[in-house]
Every structure is written in C-alpha cells, then in structure tokens.
Amino acid sequence: HMLNLVTEKKEFPAAILIRALEPRDGISLMKKRRQTEEPFNLCSGPAKICQAFAIDRSHNGVSLSSSNSPIFIKEGEKRKEELIWTSRIGVSEGKDRLWRAYLKGSPFISVK
C-alpha cells in the first residue's frame, strides 16, 4: 500500500507519493499498529505510513480536503526549519528535477 495524493483534476495525471513523514501526534497508536517502539521506523516508507495510519484500499479516492473524510489534510503550525529540495534517491532518470523535500535537521530523514 502507499499514500499517493492526486494533485490535479480528473484525467490529468499528477500526484505526490508520500514516501516518509515525521510523526507528530498519535505516536502511541502508530507504535501499536506498526508493532515497534522505534519512532524512526513508524513512517519511514510508503507501506509503513499506511500501517501507522491504518490506510487501506477502502480509502482510495477519498477527498483529503474535507474534515468529514476519514483522512484529511489540515494546515498545521508554521515550522521554522528550512525546507530542503533535492533530487530523488535511487532514481537515475530525472536527476535534474528537485522533487524530494524534507525539513532541514529532521531526525526522520534517512538519506540527506
């Protein structure tokens, strides 16, 4: 499973694959779902994110902009860390495209 966010209108292929994230809330529930005590291993991969958040195929096509949805994105607190943009890891094609982003100094980044 993976968390792939469609970012454009229907029939226009554009999406963002969430490959990792920094857990901030609900960590004890994520640890239980992932059966790990190690915070770094909670959301350090697409399948791990789905396990941590209990995301499955029943969530396919849900709106992420409605708070009534089982999964939604909301604006959080403003972070002071610098956002770093790099090329993707382990991909030879498109190395000139800066499609990978992370917060500078985050302990949850596997490759800097």
Q: Is 60 exposed, middle or buried (0-12, 13-18, 19+ CB in 10 A)?
A: exposed
Residue 108: HSE in the Cβ half-sphere, 13 Å Cα cutoff: 18
What is the amino acid identity at position 64?
L
Does the reported pTM lie above 0.85?
no
Q: Is 39 exposed, middle or buried (0-12, 13-18, 19+ CB in 10 A)?
A: middle
pLDDT tens for the 112 residues of the chain, in order: 899 999 998 899 999 999 899 998 999 999 999 999 999 999 999 999 999 999 999 999 999 988 999 988 888 888 888 899 998 888 888 888 898 888 888 888 877 6
What is the residue extent of each domain of the chain? 3-76, 78-112
